Structure 1
Amino acid sequence: APETGQFDFKLGRKHPDPSKSTIAGFIREDEQGRIWSSSWGKGFLIYNDATGAFDDYPDGPGITTSFIFDRHPIAGPIIWSGGGFYGLYWQTLIDSAIIQFPPRPREPFSHNNTMVRSIFKDPETQIIWIGTEAGVEKYDPNDLKFTRVMLPDSISPGQFSSLAGIVQDPYSPHHYWLAVWAKGFFEWDRQKNTMQSYGLEKGLYNHEVFDIIVDRQKHIWLAELECVQEFDPVTRRFRTHKPDFPTPGINHKILCLKEGSDGSIWIGSNYEGLYRLDPKTGRISRIKFMDKPQYVRCITEDKQGRLLIGDLDGYFRYNPANGNLEHFLTRDSIYHTCNGIVFDRDQRLWLATTEGLLRVDDQGKVKFALTTRNGLQNNYLNGIEIDKEDRFWLASANGLHRYYPKTGVVEVYRRADGLFDNDIAMGFRMLKRGELFIGFQDAFNMINPSRMPMNPYPPRVVLTDVHILNRPADWRPGAPIVLQPGDNVVSFAFSAINFTQPEKTVLLYKLEGFDPDWIETKQDIITYTNLDGGRYTLLVKARNGDGIWSPEPVRVTLRVIPPFHRTIWFRLLVLALAGGIIGLIVWYRQEQRRHLEVIRRRIARDLHDDMGSTLSSIRFFSEVAQAQLGDGPGGVKTLLQRIGQSAGALSESMQDIVWAINYRHDNLEDLAARMREFGLKISEARGIQFNADLPETFQQRALRPDQRRNIYLIFKEAVNNAAKYSKCTGINVSMQLHRNRLSMEISDNGNGFDPETVQYGNGLNNMQQRAKEIRGKLVIQTEPRQGVRILLDVDV
């Protein structure tokens, strides 16, 4: 007691009170707050607060070890406990019923028949872990999808003890009737899991039973070797019907049965084909299809009352009303065997064949095929059933397939899901209540597809290891992983903790900043190589076998330090160096340009000062000589006049050259002013009216020296030609600038000329050449007595 600090001896091996002397085990508290103790000899004990002692709980086993409280979906609150007769059992707390777990050597999922020493229930996954003297066992309510039922040892095990078919008793919902190939006919009590044989001694004709159905009269029909038997589940009596088999020396087997809409029983045999049995009269008639043997595998009926008959050679459609027979999918190959025929909700016909699942139209043409190319694990299908949710269940030689026709999704179930085998050959039947039964050797599975167990617990993803350059890396959980320059390979090892069918666990990962989409894998190691420098985040999540994903992905931060030549500093340095080089080049070109401008300015000044003054002196001296000569010899005077005129012309040309090379005039405004000045001078000398549409000011637009010179010379040539040869009375000049395009037009009202008859002289050809030099376009428009119009367009 806390008040006294002393212990009260309640229960123990050497307790002086014999009623309290026992080997106490584990102590736990239930939902009601009661204290329970296991013991060696007295089973469970419950502490009584009123008496201060442990009372014996009314249980069967005297030995109990470790235990836990749990809740069963049907039995309610229970106790899992070690002990009992086989080392493990559980007991209900409502009626104290005890369920033992005896050894079952044929069942690999059974208890190992050793004492349980510890039991633990995982609160996250609801898995119960059981520690035994022979190892650890696991009970997972979400692991096995399919209920497993073993045929009792009284039905001798062997290769011919496979379940061929099953039907529910029409009067007792907990009783079922089983047809076991080569072993006979049995009644199964599902609640007690007991089986009673109805063999030869009770009226069964033959132990080889291949199919079983229930008709509208609640009679059970058995397909057997050489006969069909009708069984009344009320009177428990058999009635035998033997068809007439015309071919002797054959083991005639009745493989399948089908009740027609008119109450007839249709019989499919392994050699003679199809028979019809009238239950009222017992009369059997044969429906002959072909001369060769027919191996009828399955029979179904459409809404028009026509029979669809699966055969080794495709399938037949037979109309009993008029005897019309049609044959489809005919080939001389066993691989076109039709083993199952169903109609879906939309009355579309589906066939389970040895080449996969086929959907065919009313003319027998294949409209869709589900094969190994688009979802199946094996094309050899032995049966087909459709559940209440319109999902197809396909029995194959490599697992049980569930096919969703609306989405095309195919799910596969195998031994890990609880099936006894992956090869499903016979005994494949969906009963009216919606339960699917699957027959195997000495056993069968069953499941209600609408209530299939699912694992709702997603896997928990954990980073377990990191390798850099294939060597273990030093890392701490939560800390960024750093890759130094040269660490171009990094691997991450993850563990998706999932104890429910872990082989179906799938990882999904994405490296943000590198992977554009999520990547799915079943590998637990993720490797990246040659990542660029920067920060990345690796996201990893997992999915269990039932498609439940981790709610949040695990995040691993990765920092990659790039080599110096790939760092931002190196790039900035390269950019700065490149900028410096470019700046140096620009500065050098500007210096060269300034130097050329100085030279041009000096040349212009020298030409103006030296040669201009010299030409002016020549002109002046020629005029003085003419004045002094007076009326002297005419030839001398004329020569002096020519010298003066040539000097004047040369002086004007020199002025044009000086103007052209002077950089101060490299703009449109100076060009326009020069053109206006020249045009007025020429026109006034000739008595011609000169009209210049030249803006007084242009927007600031510089011209290259070659552009300025050639545009001016084209203008000068055009004006000179108009003044000298056209006999015009007016010259019009206009110049406009539209963005980067300069347009100039020069026209006169003179005589013009015919371009077809007049050959261009040097002046017009020079104008065209100058336009090409500045990449411009020059157009000359003229007609006799219509003047001349010259157009120039050039980019500036």
Structure 2
Amino acid sequence: RHDGRVDLLPLPPDCPSAGAADVNRLAEDRDSTWAAIRACGLFRYSGGKWSNAERLGIPRADRYFAAAPDGAMWFGYRNGDVLRYRDGQLLTYALADGGVLGAIRFIDTQQDIVVSGGEGSAVLKNGKLQRLHASEPEALNNLAGLVILPNGDRWLNTGLGLAHVTQADWQASMRDPRRPLRLRLLDAADGYPGTPVLFATVPNGTLDQAGKIWFAGTDGIGVLDTMHMYRNPLPPTLQITSLGTGERLYVPADGVLQLPQRPERIDIQFAALSLTMPEKMQVLYQLEGVDRDWQRAGLRRLVSYANLSPGQYRFRLKAANPDGVWNETGVSLTFAIAPAFTQTVWFYLLCGIAVLGAGYGLYLMRMRQLVRRMNAVLGARLLERERIARALHDSLLQSVQALVLRFGAIGRHLPPDSPAQQKLHALLSDADGVIVEGRNAVMGLRLASVYGGDIALAFTRLVERMQAEHKITIVLNVRGARRRLDPLAWEEVYHVGAEALLNACRHASASRIVMELGYGVQEFSLTVRDNGKGIADEALHDGSRAGHWGVVGMRERAAALNGCLQLKAAPVRGLEVWMRIPAARAYDRDSRPSWRRRLRAWLDRLNSRA
């Protein structure tokens, strides 16, 4: 029937055995008619003749097809392919998200191009199929029909029943297909005849002039009068009735509900009231901080949460009545779970301190191991020095002494005051100096063991010897309680002190020299002060004299102990050599001051400065 007249079309000559009953689907585009004939395939009637659709590039497989107002034909296949044929061109469309819709069972072209399959529905937007979402996701699987009312509302014939979508909700989802469609479902409880007939070759649903929707169900034909539908305008009443922890039941009240530590489970019970079909209400809940999105309660009116961490939570509830009127304000309940001690910041801080303490203990243990190893190496070094000292004393010095005695005996047989005797006496005098220097070197190798590690005693003996040799007054002062020095520090301090005394005796032209040893809590100090002629300002500024390496060596020894050495003019006249070494490097481990004494000394120093 077209423009008020009926035209009879012959069947395609390619199907001689087909009858009118074999035609299971017809569609008409802008200038042609399409017919699907059982056992023959799809044909197009245009210009008074039939042509097989396969010659147009359209696959013959089982398909659903529909004509669009713009003259295009849309085809959907069981493998999920969607094709459009227009003006001799065939295009294929795919989902923008890369997914699939399953077997295509329905295509609607009234306004928007809507394609539906076993795994959802999609709408054509910007040249691609955008997947639709809904408050009831399964409702969009295998749509069987779509009816558009004059006001723009849509009724979808779905596998769950008839679903109503308002014009505003539909347009909002068309602008952003990710926005879920808000559906109002009418199913068997509302009078739907059986279950929907989904796999029909024609759209299952049509609108008549009286505003009634006609559709087919498994138990008969259904009619929905869209002009006379009652809609409940009142949102449902919501109430949170109780909160339980397994041990106690709490009644919600204003403010924050305080819960005990470590509740194994929290049960929240609520009520959603509706006087008409409460089983069709949509109830959503969310526990902020736990649930990322709203959760569907279904027919449940109790939800449970287990092993919640300490903190404050807010449970929210909202619902819609069977007609889709939402109580968006909803109700809420705020509660707080008290932390146990092991869940507090203080516990974590204590754990951190314990870890740091354990690490520090391991560090000290490792340092003790290293110190024992270094002491063992140093002990072996001292033993080797003592062995060398014994070898020098017992062999080399004794041999040199014997030679001196023999040359002395020979000299007594020379004529008195002869040139040869004078030269021999000069050589013997030099040999005596060599023996003295050798003995001093041997004594330096064995000093630490000779004096039992007492640096003050060693300097006392050195001062006595230098006074006798150089005829200079030398005073040794000791401040603080005597402590054993570390063997390595003992050696370096002794050589620095001996070098400073020797320089003062030989080069300062001094009549008095003062040596001070300071056993401080924070540091060990050594001072050598004379009243001699001092040194030039350039040498005092540079810390040494050109061509002389004694002061350089003293500085290097002090630096090896993390200390420092300074040269400065004495208060009246002369020169003062001052060396300072931290207590941690100067003293033996067993002789170091305790941390309490170091702290008290540090505080006393601050008070004295203030």
Bigger helix fraction = 2
TM bin, normalised by shorter chain, reads 0.3 to 0.5
Larger relative strand fraction: 1
What is the TM-score when the length of structure 1 is the normalising length?
A: 0.38
